[in-house]
Structure 1
Amino acid sequence: MYAPQDDTTLLVDALADEPLAPGARVLDVCTGTGALALEAARKGGRVTAVDVSWRAVCTARLNARLAGLPVRIVRGNLFAPVAGQSFDLILTNPPYVPAPGAHRMPRGAARAWDAGQDGRLVLDRICREAPALLRPGGVLLMVHSALSGADPTLRLLRAAGLTASVTERRWVAFGPVLREREGWLRERGLLSADDEKEELVVIRAERPV
């Protein structure tokens, strides 16, 4: 199981600053260990969490049980388990790391981070599909690496009718995955010769009332 990293911490901080009415409906997509879902539940949200990995689902369910928090956790591919529903807040820390061998779909634990050669395999789907699940005034909070391109994310969300901006930026040390493929990222020009840290961004998008 991939333990929560700096990106989770950054999104937890953004969630702390987000007003959440009691009983607000919250969706956590790509929940992993359930860290974000649990934070939303502590804020009083009615939370549904989704992950494609059975291992992640079981881990998140265990963590929710240990925390004594009522989080509904289901297995499924992104928004498929909640089709036709709507939410006040959608949280997501999706796979976003550019990966060599993009002709192969990620398998096993790598599904938690690998996202095609440009890192947008899952990001683009979220940008296309999440807006339809937001209620008027609903908010999407998403974290990903600047290596995957913040501008394409903003363009897609704005094209879907949302107001969108980068609200948080943080430079962090390379994690184990980036360290492993650092040479490949530099060869592709995604990292310069001087880059020694990775920039993470939080994007906040809101559906107009």
Structure 2
Amino acid sequence: MMLNRAPGVYRAQSDTEVLIDVMQRGGYADGRHVLDVGTGSGAIALAAARAGAASVTAVDLSARSVAAARLNARLAGLDIDVRRGDLFAPLTGRRFDLVVSNPPYVPAVTDRLPRHSRARCWDAGVDGRTLIDRICAGAGDVLTPDGQILLVHSALCGTQATVDALGDAGFVPSVLARVTIPFGPVMRGRAAMLEERGLIAEGERFEELVVVSGMR
């Protein structure tokens, strides 16, 4: 889908496509109240609405992303409630049947998250898990008793770690998809660092994307 986005707003890429494909093929959004955490341009939220969701709410910390997602929803003629805030903070008292997220997950030089640069779209601390772990820990507070979460990220930041984090949060976790893709520009730019940390073999320039599910 063609999406409007301002500079600094995450451009939907392979990880977004993989999550949307799993969501659509599994019918996970159909008839359900859906929350998209870290919506960026709104690609996943729009896909959920088109897949028959009963309602769609989208959240992002970036004001530019919120504006882009609202614009894209309006241009598509879709009713999506887009809110600005940190993960689940703007949703006090709300409950959803499905939480979907493509959070920042690229391992970075420091644990300090950027606030005012493009890197905020992908930097996620030294191990790439700063946002993933927070989402796993907090999703239960906004899900219905039989709700579900779908997360997409690179296996470089730990598929088993996400399975364990969801299990620790009271979910029944499973891996729904694994897709191998070539490194994009950000990963290519950090290949030397990833090699030094032993996260990839020397000369390796492919990564595995995973979609992990957690059922209440």
Q: Report the TM-score, using the length of structure 2 for normalisation.
A: 0.91
Map of 1:52 onto structure 2: 61
Q: For residue 172 of structure 1, what is the amino acid of its counterpart?
A: I
C-alpha deviation, 1:83, in angstroms: 2.0
Q: For residue 141 of structure 2, what is the amino acid of its counterpart?
A: A
Is residue 125 of structure 1 aligned with residue 148 of structure 2? Answer: no
C-alpha deviation, 1:50, in angstroms: 0.2
Map of 1:77 onto structure 2: 86
- Determine if contact 1:33/1:57 at 8 Å carries over to the other structure: yes
- Determine if contact 1:49/1:73 at 8 Å carries over to the other structure: yes
Map of 2:4 onto structure 1: none
Map of 1:198 onto structure 2: 207
Map of 1:8 onto structure 2: 16
Alignment of 1:45-194 (within 5 A): 45=53, 46-102=55-111, 104-107=112-115, 108-194=117-203
What do you get for the CA RMSD once the two structures are aligned?
1.3
Q: For residue 21 of structure 2, what is the amino acid of its counterpart?
A: D
Query: 1: distance between equivalents of 2:51 and 2:107?
Result: 33
Unpaired runs of 5+ residues, structure 1, are none
C-alpha deviation, 1:132, in angstroms: 2.3
Query: 2: distance between equivalents of 1:125 and 1:61?
Result: 25
**Among the aligned pairs, what percent are the same residue?**
52
Is residue 28 of structure 1 aligned with residue 36 of structure 2? Answer: yes
Give runs of ≥4 in structure 1 deviating > 6 Å: none
- Determine if contact 2:34/2:97 at 8 Å carries over to the other structure: yes
1:100-150 per-position Cα deviation (integer Å, ceiling 9, x unaligned): 133x32132211100000001101100100022211221101000001101
Query: 1: distance between equivalents of 2:20 and 2:28?
Result: 13
C-alpha deviation, 1:152, in angstroms: 1.1
Secondary structure, counterpart of 2:149 in structure 1: strand
**Gap change, CA 1:197 and 1:22, over 3 Å in 2:** closer
Is residue 38 of structure 1 aligned with residue 42 of structure 2? Answer: no
C-alpha deviation, 1:21, in angstroms: 7.0
Secondary structure, counterpart of 1:60 in structure 2: helix
Query: 2: distance between equivalents of 1:156 and 1:140?
Result: 12
**Gap change, CA 1:170 and 1:78, over 3 Å in 2:** same
Q: Report the TM-score, using the length of structure 1 for normalisation.
A: 0.94
Query: 1: distance between equivalents of 2:29 and 2:102?
Result: 22
- Determine if contact 1:20/1:44 at 8 Å carries over to the other structure: no
C-alpha deviation, 1:93, in angstroms: 0.2
- Determine if contact 1:131/1:157 at 8 Å carries over to the other structure: no
1:148-170 per-position Cα deviation (integer Å, ceiling 9, x unaligned): 10111111111222111111001
C-alpha deviation, 1:190, in angstroms: 1.0
Unpaired runs of 5+ residues, structure 2, are 1-8
Secondary structure, counterpart of 1:78 in structure 2: coil
